[in-house]
Structure 1
Amino acid sequence: MLFRIPVFLLFLSCFTFAVAQKPVVFNKKSYEHIFKSAEVYTLEDVESNLSFDTISSATYQNKFVPNKDYYPKNYNQNSSYWYRIKVRFDEDLDKSSVIEFFDQVTDYIDAYFPDENGNYIHSRTGADLVFKERLFSHKNFEFLIRNLKKGEYYYYFKVKSKDKVNVIIVFRTVERFIQYGLTEYLTYGLFYGMIFIFSFHNLLMYLAVRRKQYLYYILYIISVGLYEVSIDGIAYQYLWPQHPVWNEYAYGIALFCISSFALIFTKELLHVKQKAPFYFKLINAVLLLRLAFFLVCLLYNPDWFKYKFIEFIPLSIGFVTGIYILWRKRYRPARFFVVGYSFLFLGFVIKIVHILGYARHIPGALGYYSLSFGFLLEMVFLSFAIGDQVRILKRKKENAQKQIIKQMQLNAEMKDNLNRELEAKVEQRTIEVKKQAIALQQQNETIEKQNEELVSKNSLLEQQSEEISRMNVLLERDNISLKTSIEKVTDARVNATELDFEEFSQKYPDKEACYKFLAELKWESGYACLKCSHTNYCNGKVPYNRRCTKCAYEESVLHDTIFENNRISINKAFYLVYLIYNSKGTISSHKLSEKLGIRQSTCWAYASKVKKVMEERKKDLRGIGKSGWSKIVLDKKA
């Protein structure tokens, strides 16, 4: 007995709580009702494992709490939410009715309706199910009320969605549902018809004037249409009814296209690159970041498409760019652009307010379709902006044509005046020419006489020229002989005495002269490739190098000479060898440093190298005389 008392009290408390939920009363005059606020009780199923039998039991009745928002929401997308409504039919209703859910992105909705016997019938629908499984072929979710007899009833709904949704529950009679559905689809037809008309009109304009702004505008409004049909569920109904998984990508792809083509269209319409370079760079940066986010969502996690609020960033950038160009640059088409974006911005804000649960302050249709209204008004005013730009261009063209016509008239007048002036000048010039002709005739006679004298003088000059040519030939022979004598004297002096660097440099003035001497000395007996022994060669990359025409091996003129890997200038190296040889190795490194202007350590190292070669080739150099310095440069052991 004591055990039964707590159970009875618990049952009584559950019954008391259940009665506390006020019923929504319907009669034959009721044709539509939207459940909101405390008319809907909610229970969060965190583990998503509660069955209907469990939540409908007396134990769970007191766990349902009144909805705190204007419309219920699934704040935790990992949970399932149970919703309960209570209705009372004051009389038997003779009209069929439905319960409708509005938010088309809801993944699953399970409904439990009581029948005449008090048993509950289960029905299921949702965006993740194939479209043909719905009770009605409609973009929203509907459940047919099977029991309309007089009395009070509880209806249970289980909602599970990975997106945040507004659980808008509406009671409608079938007649009202048909009227509402036809009106809604007609409105959508008008909306998408306007998108089609705008697209077709701007396509014709693009084909006529070939301005890219029309093409970007077409892509933008087509993207708007794609987004609207995706978010309204119409695309799912008519385009991919067998593939509900596409619903997860469609609106995300459409939003990306809207943002991208809107910013590109903004750049093209307002000439942002010329009028606002900073905003041009900013728009490009936003486009790249938006593309990166889109690729991450598409390839990594499509659930991130639900973060639609990021579209506020490109929308704001385009809006601020239009305001800047209108305010600072006074570009007239920007006024319609700013007005259009203002409506879109306002629609976006109203939509956000509606999503955040403040719908009670906004009329239902305006809150739900605010973004569509914003897009529609934006398209109208963007068309005005394009038309205004065309009018400006037309006005400029007309002004340019007027200036051209005016300039052509001035040119014609100037041409007539110039013709008259030219005719007068031609007459005057003709008289002068006649006078000059008489004078020229007299001059011609004088010139003819002078020509006869010049002919006789020319014959004399030809004779003198022949004599000069003969003398030049003789002088040239003497010069060649003299040059040869000078070279012989210089060579003899080089080999006979010790010269200073300036005198020595006259014989070997630069690197080219030294390389030439080494080439003649090195290949005196003929050329043979070190790699393949081929005897034909061509010039190498460095002057006087020789490249084999067979294997392309290039041999340096310094290879296998005492100057290979030389670190001082070649003409100084020549002089150093010359001094060491003439002094028979007795000249000191200090003296060499003083004569050549090179560090004493370098002179010592190089002198040691030369002396070593002289010592090794002492027998070969015996009896050659002072000219033997040039014979040691080819020492291959150096």
Structure 2
Amino acid sequence: MLKKLTSVFSFVIITLSFNSSYAQRAVNVDSKLKEYIFKADEVVCLEDASNKLTIATISSAAYQSKFIKNINFYPKNYNRSSAYWYRIKVRFKEDVKQNAIIEFFDQITDHIESYLPDTNRKYVKSVAGADLNFAERSYHHKNFEFLINTTKKGEYYYYFRVKSKDQVNVIIVYRTIERFIGYALSEYIMFGFFYGMIVIFSFHNLLMFLAVKRRQYFFYILYILSVGLYEMSTDGIAFQYLWPNHPVWNEYAYGVSLFFLSTFGLIFTKELLHVKIKAPTINKVINVLLGVRFLFFLVCLFYDNDLFKYKFLEAIPLSLCFFTGIYIWWKKQYGPARFFVLGYFFLFMGFIIKIVHILGWSRLFIGNVVGYYSLSFGFLLEMVFLSFAIGDQVRILKRKKENARKQIIKQMQVNADLKDSINKELEIKVAERTKEVQQKSKELQQKNITIEDQNEELLSINALLEQQAEEISRMNILLEKDNITLKTNIEKVTDARVNATELDFDEFSLKYPDRDTCYKFLAELKWENGYACIKCANTTYCNGKVPFNRRCTKCAYEESVLHQTIFENNRIPINKAFYLVYLMYNHKGAISSHKLSEKLGIRQSTCWTYASKIKKVMEERKKDLKGVGKSGWRKLVLDK
């Protein structure tokens, strides 16, 4: 018995808790209610992970208890691979004669199916979403609207199936048609004002750019156009008017526009505030951020466009621009930066308010309208103050230009006065100089007369000198002939002495003083019967790289003048090697290496090595050297 009572008590507790957990509060609607935004506890949801549930299944009694209350201010599709069913409960307290709609706000929602009951309480399906062409919408409006099929007295359940690749805020609003028309007209008028301001600012700055050719105007135009494109993409205006038949572009539009917005915003900051000059370190940081932002954009565009949803990353370039303006205004005392800071302050506040609105806190502080359009208001105020910053910069430049012009005029006046005073001084000096020149001219005339007389005397003297010069020339010719004869006789005498007696090194050096003389002697001795290439037997040659070497004109082989001589691979000066051969020959190989070292100034070991080589050659050619006299040392030079 106790067991049965326990079971019954447990069932009652579970039933009561079940009913209290899933009971949904109905929203009362009457003819006075023009608009109503459904609150968090008035919307229940069900996740469809299979994506296969139908309205018949969802609306059945078995599934009513599976809907759960929304825990956030705005319902969201947390699992983007699933479909989500949302249900609201509406109670018409009386028959409402005016038509009404249900509206969804988030323009990036891919697919929405509405199931609204008609007068027979049968559910009628309507479809909308960002994946459909704009013309397929029931109402040609940027938001998603579904017509309520009946406004008869009674309670009704409205079901909505939401499926989106991006996480969206499911904001459900009830509006009468009259209220919707007034709201839509007001909103589009505001859009016209906002985008008209963008066009006006762009055109104005384009004219300024064409007039003054300053780059900040050009980047400012690109920046505010990027702002306009981003706002049009997020508001759904771009889809409505620019690409209504290409819904796939909605997946890229806001990401691309955000990239251009942050990029041109950073570049405009650099140009307007002269960051490269006033803050080089911050300029480097901006350049790095531009590179990273570009790489991230490429990854989003070509690898995973799902990364475009991380819009909060744009707070980084926004904060950097804001910080740069504060730094240059505060530290560098640059006047236009104060308007720049003020403009970014309002944009920063709009950004914060937008985040608060997305988190669902805007109703507590600022209201839905201000929260929803806060970023647009921030951009508008930013554009105004950035224009003031550019104007202030132009004013400063104009003031500097005016000061420079005044300085130039003042300097020109000083130059004119200086020029007049210099001209007066020059006139006085010219007059004085003219008198001096006239006086000197008279003196020069007198001197010219004297010089003419002297010239006549010089002419007569020159005639005598020419005669003497001719005589000297004849004497020089005769002396040159005598010198040639004398030089020839000296060479003959020297050869005779070399061949007749033993000379010391100084006397020997008169005949063979340097390398070129020795090489010339070897060349004449080596090729006295004519040249023939040892490689190809060609008989024509040209000069080689080393003096007196001969290069074959056919095979280009260069033959050294030392090749096939006793001096090949020689490591001592060639003239000393000549003298060593000369001494060895005159002493018939009997001179000691110590004596050779003393005469030549070369180490005894080196002299011994060369003496041994020469003595060996003399032994081999004993027959050839017999009876040739003192000149026989020359025959030792060439190899057989």
TM-score (norm 1): 0.80
Q: Tell me whether 156-165 or 101-110 shows the greater mean CA deviation.
A: 156-165
Aligned partners of 1:475 and 1:19: how far apart in 2?
141
Aligned position for 2:310: 307
1:86-105 matches, cutoff 5 A: 86-105=89-108
Match of 2:295 among 284, 289, 292: 292
1:183-582 matches, cutoff 5 A: 183-360=186-363, 361-463=365-467, 465-466=469-470, 507-508=514-515, 555=557
Contact 2:116 2:123 in 1 (8 A): yes
Contact 1:17 1:62 in 2 (8 A): no
Aligned position for 1:131: 134
Aligned-pair CA distance for 1:174: 1.1
Aligned-pair CA distance for 1:101: 0.9
Cα RMSD of the aligned pairs, angstroms, is: 4.7
**Distance 1:18-1:571 versus aligned 2 partners, 3 A rule:** same
Secondary structure of the equivalent of 2:257?
helix
CA deviation digits over 1:331-376, x for unaligned, max 9?
A: 2222212221222222222223323343333321222222222221
Contact 1:545 1:555 in 2 (8 A): no
Secondary structure of the equivalent of 1:406?
helix
Contact 2:22 2:67 in 1 (8 A): no
Secondary structure of the equivalent of 1:179?
helix
Number of residue pairs aligned between Structure 1 and Structure 2: 607
Aligned partners of 1:555 and 1:304: how far apart in 2?
74
Contact 1:45 1:82 in 2 (8 A): yes
Secondary structure of the equivalent of 1:29?
coil
CA deviation digits over 1:564-597, x for unaligned, max 9?
A: xx9x9x8759689979988899999xx99xx999
Secondary structure of the equivalent of 1:378?
helix
Contact 2:115 2:160 in 1 (8 A): yes
Aligned partners of 2:20 and 2:496: how far apart in 1?
130
Aligned position for 2:77: 74
**Distance 1:535-1:556 versus aligned 2 partners, 3 A rule:** closer
Aligned-pair CA distance for 1:244: 1.1
Secondary structure of the equivalent of 1:93?
coil
Secondary structure of the equivalent of 2:44?
strand
CA deviation digits over 1:77-107, x for unaligned, max 9?
A: 3333222211111111111111111111111
CA deviation digits over 1:263-315, x for unaligned, max 9?
A: 22222222222222222222221111111111121111111112222222222
Contact 1:14 1:58 in 2 (8 A): no
Aligned-pair CA distance for 1:157: 1.7
Secondary structure of the equivalent of 2:161?
strand
Aligned partners of 2:540 and 2:389: how far apart in 1?
81
Q: Tell me whether 161-170 or 16-25 shows the greater mean CA deviation.
A: 16-25
**Distance 1:77-1:499 versus aligned 2 partners, 3 A rule:** farther
Aligned position for 2:628: none
Secondary structure of the equivalent of 1:199?
helix
Uncovered stretches (5+) of structure 2, i.e. residues with no partner: 626-630
Aligned-pair CA distance for 1:492: 10
Secondary structure of the equivalent of 2:77?
coil
Contact 2:515 2:575 in 1 (8 A): no
1:549-628 matches, cutoff 5 A: 555=557, 626-627=633-634
Aligned partners of 1:498 and 1:189: how far apart in 2?
116
Q: Tell me whether 118-127 or 85-94 shows the greater mean CA deviation.
A: 118-127
Aligned position for 1:29: 32
Aligned-pair CA distance for 1:240: 1.4
Aligned-pair CA distance for 1:461: 4.3
CA deviation digits over 1:391-412, x for unaligned, max 9?
A: 1111111111111211222222
CA deviation digits over 1:399-437, x for unaligned, max 9?
A: 111112112222222222222222222333333333323
Uncovered stretches (5+) of structure 1, i.e. residues with no partner: none
Aligned-pair CA distance for 1:239: 1.6
Contact 2:215 2:271 in 1 (8 A): yes
CA deviation digits over 1:456-485, x for unaligned, max 9?
A: 444444455555656666777788888899
Aligned position for 1:118: 121
Aligned partners of 1:242 and 1:525: how far apart in 2?
98
Contact 2:243 2:249 in 1 (8 A): yes
Q: Tell me whether 59-68 or 396-405 shows the greater mean CA deviation.
A: 59-68
**Distance 1:597-1:102 versus aligned 2 partners, 3 A rule:** farther
Q: Does 1:156 align with 2:163?
A: no
Aligned-pair CA distance for 1:115: 2.2
Contact 2:551 2:559 in 1 (8 A): no
Aligned-pair CA distance for 1:234: 1.3
Give the letter aligned to residue 207 of structure 1: L
Contact 2:109 2:130 in 1 (8 A): yes
TM-score (norm 2): 0.80
Contact 2:27 2:89 in 1 (8 A): yes
Aligned position for 1:146: 149
Contact 2:226 2:260 in 1 (8 A): yes
Q: Does 1:59 align with 2:62?
A: yes
**Distance 1:578-1:251 versus aligned 2 partners, 3 A rule:** farther
**Distance 1:578-1:534 versus aligned 2 partners, 3 A rule:** closer
Give the letter aligned to residue 401 of structure 2: K
Contact 1:11 1:58 in 2 (8 A): no
Give the letter aligned to residue 60 of structure 1: Y
**Distance 1:581-1:308 versus aligned 2 partners, 3 A rule:** farther
Aligned-pair CA distance for 1:70: 1.8
Aligned partners of 1:548 and 1:384: how far apart in 2?
86
CA deviation digits over 1:4-60, x for unaligned, max 9?
A: x99x98996698358721111110011111112212122333444443333333333
Match of 1:16 among 8, 19, 24: 19
Secondary structure of the equivalent of 2:339?
helix
Aligned partners of 2:25 and 2:278: how far apart in 1?
63
Aligned partners of 1:532 and 1:352: how far apart in 2?
98
**Distance 1:433-1:106 versus aligned 2 partners, 3 A rule:** same
Contact 1:98 1:172 in 2 (8 A): yes
Q: Tell me whether 230-239 or 39-48 shows the greater mean CA deviation.
A: 39-48
Contact 2:513 2:575 in 1 (8 A): no
Give the letter aligned to residue 411 of structure 1: N
Contact 1:519 1:557 in 2 (8 A): no
Aligned-pair CA distance for 1:121: 2.1
